């Protein structure tokens, strides 16, 4: 015999209409009641008919995730699986599904996102990157469709979840300075990305504060977060600048290339990267950016934005997730 809403209501000690509102994720229901109802649903193995529900409510119970341009780097970079795990945890708690928007170029991604937005195939969008003058962000914003970005925006009207990457870059650089390093190299991704810009700004600020020279020959920016880019950078860097005594990379894939080159040449130069899980690399330290919490906070925030839209509330959320340096 199949389980009904009445069975869930009886076990949870609420009315059937309250169960319905919990399934619809109504903001008027308290979190304690939601937890009690969801626990009863789990115990009874009750699965609401989301398709029927979406026809009635006009909501899909689906959130779209927009991937960065470089999908190869996306699938190789350990940052994104960790973020996705956080997103999936909260999505599961709220009975939401996830749909991924991607494409081999900007035109394909624009088409995919346009279909999601104008066809109302999803209730909201999370952009898993942030860059300047993004036409995809502009299109979604002009459509007044619920969205947020995982990263930084220059506009005060774009909701976001991010780290304080300027401070993180500063802390990473000062970590080496306090260890006595004076010739610190910096390897970042494309400057189109705010995360690269901000971590580099933090690097510059730390050098200036400590009266150290900012040598442009000690820095490089690559178009892709790939291991071979880190390898090539390190080879060129140390050939021309043998005095380098520390290396900062903004990404664990780049750090992997750096460590590969140092190992192949039997060199010992302390290296630091940004990550969220302990990297399987010979690093002096890493900046834990807490990507699991970035993912969880992103999904919680997009749900709040969707609920705000239902109530005709316009609130722009800016949330910063703290980082910390983990010494190896």
- How confident is the model at residue 161, as a pLDDT? 96
Residues 276 and 181 placed together within one structural domain of the fold: yes
Kindly report the backbone phi and psi dihedral angles of residue 207, in degrees, each rounded to the nearest multiple of 5, phi listed first: -65, -45
Contact between 100 and 81 (Cβ < 8 Å): no
CATH number for 10:
1.10.260.40
The answer on 173 and 116 residing in a single domain is no
| 127 in a structural domain | yes
pLDDT value of position 253:
86
User: Are residues 96 and 137 located together in one domain of the fold?
Assistant: yes
Q: Does residue 53 lie in a domain region? A: no
Check whether residue 193 and residue 268 sit in a common domain. yes
User: For the chain, what's the residue count?
Assistant: 328
227 and 300 in a common domain: no
Crossing angle for the helix pair 5-12 and 31-43, to the nearest 10 degrees: 120
Q: What is the CATH number of the domain that holds 263?
A: 3.40.50.2300
Judge whether 57 lies within some domain: no
At residue 277, the pLDDT reads 67
- What is residue 213's predicted lDDT score, i.e. its pLDDT? 92
Backbone φ and ψ of 82, nearest 5° = -70, -40
**pLDDT tens for residues 261-281?**
999 999 999 999 998 766 678
188 and 223 co-located in one domain: yes
136 and 103 part of one domain:
yes
The range of the structural domain enclosing residue 30 comes to 5-48
In a domain, 55, yes or no: no
Query: 138 and 174 share a domain?
Result: no
Do 71 and 179 reside in the same domain of the chain?
no
Question: Which among 253, 327, 254 is positioned nearest to 286, based on CA atoms?
Answer: 327
Q: Does residue 23 sit within a domain?
A: yes
Say whether both 106 and 139 belong to one domain.
yes
Domain count, the chain: 3
pLDDT of 124-159, one tens digit each?
A: 999 998 888 889 999 999 999 999 999 998 888 899
The answer to whether position 41 is within a domain reads: yes
Residue 142 lies in a domain: yes
Residues 254 and 189 in one domain: yes
- 180: exposed, middle or buried (Cβ count in 10 Å: 0-12, 13-18, 19+): exposed
Name every residue whose Cβ is closer than 8 Å to that of residue 51 and which is 6 or more positions away in sequence.
none
Is residue 158 domain-shared with residue 299, that is, in the same domain? yes
Helix, strand counts (H, E) of the chain: 13, 12
User: Does 195 reside within a domain?
Assistant: yes
pLDDT by residue, tens only, the chain of 328 residues:
577 888 889 899 998 888 888 877 776 788 888 889 888 888 888 876 655 555 445 688 999 999 887 556 666 777 888 999 999 999 999 989 999 887 777 788 888 898 888 888 899 999 998 888 889 999 999 999 999 999 998 888 899 999 999 999 999 999 999 999 999 999 998 888 899 999 999 999 999 999 999 999 999 998 887 889 899 999 999 999 999 999 999 988 899 999 999 999 999 999 999 987 666 788 999 999 999 999 999 999 999 999 998 888 888 999 999 999 999 8
Q: How far apart are CA 5 and CA 230, in angstroms?
A: 56
């Amino acid at each position: 015999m199949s389980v009904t809403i009445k069975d869930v209501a009886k076990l949870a000690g609420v009315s059937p209409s309250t169960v319905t509102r919990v399934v619809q994720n109504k903001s008027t229901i308290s979190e304690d009641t939601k937890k009690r109802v969801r626990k009863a649903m789990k115990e009874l193995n009750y699965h609401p008919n989301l398709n029927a529900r979406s026809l009635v409510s006009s909501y899909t119970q689906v959130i779209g995730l927009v991937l960065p341009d470089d999908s190869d780097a996306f699938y190789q970079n350990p940052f994104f699986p960790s973020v996705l795990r956080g997103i999936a945890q909260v999505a599961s708690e709220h009975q939401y599904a996830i749909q991924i928007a991607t494409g081999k170029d900007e035109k394909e991604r624009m088409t995919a996102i346009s279909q999601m937005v104008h066809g109302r195939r999803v209730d909201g969008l999370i952009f898993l990157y942030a860059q300047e003058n993004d036409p995809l962000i502009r299109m979604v914003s002009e459509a007044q469709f619920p969205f947020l970005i995982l990263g930084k925006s220059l506009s005060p009207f774009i909701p976001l979840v991010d780290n304080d990457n300027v401070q993180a870059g500063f802390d990473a650089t000062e970590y080496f300075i306090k260890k006595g390093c004076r010739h610190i190299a910096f390897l970042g991704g494309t400057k189109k990305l705010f995360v690269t810009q901000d971590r580099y700004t933090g690097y510059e600020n730390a050098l200036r504060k400590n009266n150290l020279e900012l040598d442009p020959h000690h820095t490089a920016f690559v178009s892709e977060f790939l291991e071979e880019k880190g390898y090539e950078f390190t080879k060129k860097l140390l050939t021309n600048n043998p005095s380098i005594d520390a290396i900062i990379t903004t990404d664990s894939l780049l750090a992997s290339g750096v460590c590969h080159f140092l190992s192949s040449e039997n060199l010992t130069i302390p290296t630091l990267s940004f990550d969220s899980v302990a990297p399987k690399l010979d690093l002096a330290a890493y900046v834990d950016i807490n990507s699991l919490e970035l993912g969880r906070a992103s999904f919680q925030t997009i749900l709040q934005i969707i609920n705000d839209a239902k109530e005709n509330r316009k609130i722009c959320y800016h949330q910063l997730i703290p980082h910390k340096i983990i010494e190896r």
